[in-house]
Chain A
Amino acid sequence: MPVSRFRTLAPAIGLIVILAGCGSATTPAPTAPAASTPPAASAPASAAAGTSAAPAGTPGTKFAGANINILTFNGPQIAEPLQRRAPDWEKLTGGHVNIVAVGFQTIYDKALLDASTGTNSFDGYVFDPQWMGDFVGPGYLADLTAREKNDPQLNQQDIVPFFRDYNSTYNGKNYTIPLDGDFLMVYYRSDLLAKDGLKPPETWDDYLTIAQKYNGQDLNGDGTPDYGSCIAEKKGAQSYWWIINIAAGLLQSKGTSQGAFFDTTNMNPLLGTNDAMTLALQTYAKAGTFGPPDGLNMDVGGSRGLFTTGRCALTLDWGDVGTQAPGTYAQDKTGAVISPGWKQVLDRSTGKLVPCDPTTCPDAVNGVNHAPFAAFGGWSGAVNAKAPAANQDAAYDFLSYMSAPAQSSIDVTLGKTGFNPYRTSQFTNSAPWLAAGLSQAATDNYLGAIKDSLSNPNFVLDLRIPQTKQYEQDVLDTAIAQYLAKQTDETATEQAISDGWNQITTQVGKDKQLAAYISSLGVQK
């Protein structure tokens, strides 16, 4: 054969070899969940009943042979309790659970790629219920409504109504098991406020007043001036949640199902061109001036560090600060209060602010409309609908075991777990909190603030429609970052958010998104 012909053939032969190699690669997929377990016999469908109380000492056999993969983010938080309690569950049920921990930034992509391409290497997820919009529509998540209702281990009635009926549901059905109660609260230095006879902030105006008072003073006795307010402003971190939290009280006043992101009649962005957003942006920027000079590059890790070392009078955060304070300067000096509200509220038809009265703000306390914001929504367990049935049963049982009061009432008191309270029993029973190192006063104060928030009917759900990450982490985050960096003014920022959100809505389909938004808010009992 002439060489010239060989030359033209060579790449073709190579390609054929490669393709043949691809075609004949029939080795068992290493990522496929090990389905080599003895089937149904040992994993009866009655798993939904979920009575895993095997006698102590005797290894359970309910899920003997089941081997499940749970995807979550690698801790130390969140993965820690899962990994710590997995052996106990394995002893109870005979199953094996494999915690696959990946970085926080990548769970969403990883889970969605895995489910959408049919790889299905995970049987369950511990992730953000915010993503339900992307997962429930295409049918990637198993409907857990019946299981949760009839599961004595889970004791669903103990879960606070907001997390039970709103946060873990989509279109009226339960798709997740709450493991963590996430909502934002304001923390203050109780020693300072007590010394000066000040009340914790009720409104954001109070917040700014207090922040201004303490800014520049030495708050921890080390001789250097400290800060009035430490709020994360970093791009690509938490700032988009913070602005939503500040604006929430201006945007939503008539209960969770009113929604704070879009007008449920026409899908117009509420975090857009209106006076409420202008006021919220100005408040956020003003709070930043009472913070550290490099606040623009501070994420929540930074603000927590500053607060626990006594360098801040006020901060805005999830429940974690309360459980992280023990052992730091802020121990027994930390007070928590429901996130401040506003005495006015947006009139959605005019885009102007109107004063709060019993009609406009039916749930106001002392004339202040609070709207606690469940930013992120709390880590929740979900089950892959495409996993083998036996694995679904086992994955559900493990997640339910984690959420069961016996386990979770301990876990939510430990700073290292990253879990915050979400059950009634968790803030009525203070014993585990005292055991975790909080004083009685701190426990009462912390649980009181949580109770105030959780019992508020005007709780704000985080955005849970398809492409939620594009709305919040792309458009909103970029616009806020540009505003805080003084690249744009209020008007341009609002316009950018509004235009960006409308662009996504149009691309996905306005009717579809409106229906999804209403589904995500709706509770059909």
Chain B
Amino acid sequence: MTNPFRRRSVTDLSPRAKFAAFLVLLFWALVVLFPIYWLFVTSFKTPYEVDKGPFYIPFVDFQPTLDAWKYILLDLGNDTIRPYVNTVIVGLSSSILALLLGSLAAYALVRFTYRPRVGIVGLFIASVAFAFVATILGAPALIGFGSGIAVFLILAQTIGRRFVRAFGNSDIAFWLISQRILPPIAVAIPIYVLFQQVHLLDNIAALIVTYVATNLPIVVWLMRDYFASLPRELEESAAVDGASVFRIVRSIVLPISIPGLVASFLIVLIFAWNEFLIALVLTSANAQTMPLQVAAQNATRGPQWWAMSVLILIMIAPVVAMAIALERYITRGILVGALKG
């Protein structure tokens, strides 16, 4: 049997260093695993056992029970399954959309130059303000916004064209990420009103749209760095060969960006999967998602640890499965292969 710590190549570590690295990783693995293990054992405890003190190993120091699992999966039944299905649908669709729109925007911000003129942007802001003031002063919303748009178009075509100063790509990127600064608590009520107006309250479509918008900036920023680090030569030679941008992106850029795409996808999937406050405000019965169920286990009697543990465990299972399936794409082999091939 070969030594698992042997040195495999010139860039590889010495066996001793490798063993030390392994120990450090093992230690962190324990730090990560222990709380998860605690959730796992807690999910098999009765409330009384949780109150009595720490018990660590089922069958050894306490008699496990399936009560909490039964309560969540059978007694609640549809009240668990419905949010679960919602979470899966909302999480997957919103993160795929965010990844698609976000990586295209990121690519555009890296490879093209945009110069939105300061004057136009200023006029746009002024028009929005105009529309709001008109609405607040009592004009119907559609008329208020309609006239706002009209004002904007007229001014943009006349005064706006005289402005020369312009913003650059970096300003667009910063504007995108700055949308995440305002805490969700501040936008909760406006978002509620917005979706109430379009009759999408308690509808997963509202959650999907909102999550795509909130996660887009993250994708844009992460992918921008990836695209920027790619060598241009491939794209340039393809362009010289007459390939269209769409074709270059589809068959060259995206394949070699897979590590970045996978990492970004996992991150936005996790964000959408776990988002709490917007879901809380926008849903009541049909569109509830799992984080609400977890939070709701803190009842007037204090947290229902056992039920909460079950919910958390069944919530992370699909994400972990996804991570296992996708992890191998975050490896150097693919990139190197693509570059050489």
CB-CB < 8 A to B161: which residues of A? 4
CB-CB < 8 A to A76: which residues of B? 71, 299, 304, 307
Contact of B203 among A15, A30, A73, A77 (CB under 8 A): A30
Q: B254-308: which residues lie under 8 A (CB-CB) from chain A? A: 280-281, 284-286, 288, 292-293, 295-296, 298-304, 307
Chain B's closest residue to A69 (CB) is B285
CB-CB < 8 A to A105: which residues of B? 295, 298
CB-CB < 8 A to B293: which residues of A? 74
A8 within 8 A of B: yes
Chain B's closest residue to A11 (CB) is B124
Contact of B301 among A113, A304, A376 (CB under 8 A): A304
A75 to B299, CA, bound (A): 7
A29 within 8 A of B: yes
- One digit per residue, 1 when the CB lies within 8 angstroms of any chain B CB and 0 when it does not, for chain A 271-312 equals 000000000000000000000000000011110111011000
Asked if B160 contacts A8 (CB within 8 A), the reply is: yes
A520 to B284, CA, bound (A): 30
- One digit per residue, 1 when the CB lies within 8 angstroms of any chain B CB and 0 when it does not, for chain A 293-335 equals 0000001111011101100000000001000000110000000
Among the stretches A19-27, A425-433, A446-454, the one at the interface with B is A19-27
CB-CB < 8 A to B47: which residues of A? 305
CB-CB < 8 A to A11: which residues of B? 124
Q: Name the interface size band of chain A.
A: 35 or more
Asked if B299 contacts A19 (CB within 8 A), the reply is: no
CB-CB < 8 A to B51: which residues of A? 304-306, 308-309
Chain B's closest residue to A29 (CB) is B199
Contacts A30-B202, A101-B296; is A9 near B153 (CB within 8 Å)?
yes
- Tell me the minimal C-beta distance from A183 to chain B in angstroms: 14
CB-CB < 8 A to B298: which residues of A? 103-105
Contacts A19-B145, A29-B201, A121-B201; is A98 near B285 (CB within 8 Å)?
yes
Contact of A320 among B193, B280, B301 (CB under 8 A): B301
Asked if A102 contacts B142 (CB within 8 A), the reply is: no
Does more than half of chain B's interface fall in helix, strand or loop, or is it mixed?
helix
Q: Name the interface size band of chain B.
A: 35 or more
Most A C-beta atoms less than 10 A away, residue of B197, B296, B300, B307: B300
A167 to B48, CA, bound (A): 33
Asked if A31 contacts B201 (CB within 8 A), the reply is: yes
Contact of A19 among B142, B156, B201 (CB under 8 A): B142
Asked if B124 contacts A74 (CB within 8 A), the reply is: no
CB-CB < 8 A to B299: which residues of A? 73-77, 104
- Tell me the minimal C-beta distance from A297 to chain B in angstroms: 12
- One digit per residue, 1 when the CB lies within 8 angstroms of any chain B CB and 0 when it does not, for chain A 15-57 equals 1100101110111111100000000000000000000000000
Contacts A29-B201, A100-B284, A104-B298; is A15 near B149 (CB within 8 Å)?
yes
A305 to B52, CA, bound (A): 8
B235 within 8 A of A: no
A207 to B203, CA, bound (A): 53
Asked if A23 contacts B153 (CB within 8 A), the reply is: no
Contacts A8-B156, A113-B192; is A301 near B301 (CB within 8 Å)?
yes
- Tell me the minimal C-beta distance from B154 to chain A in angstroms: 10
A301 to B145, CA, bound (A): 51
CB-CB < 8 A to A5: which residues of B? 157
Contact of B286 among A30, A300, A309 (CB under 8 A): A30
Sample (14) of A-B pairs whose CB atoms are under 8 Å apart:
A9-B153, A15-B149, A25-B199, A26-B199, A27-B199, A28-B199, A73-B300, A76-B299, A102-B288, A102-B296, A121-B202, A301-B301, A305-B302, A418-B301
Beyond A5-B157, A28-B199, A77-B301, 6 additional pairs, beta carbon < 8 A: A30-B199, A77-B300, A103-B280, A113-B192, A117-B193, A121-B201
What are the 7 A-B residue pairs with the smallest beta carbon separation, nearest first?
A301-B302, A305-B51, A103-B296, A29-B199, A100-B285, A31-B202, A8-B156
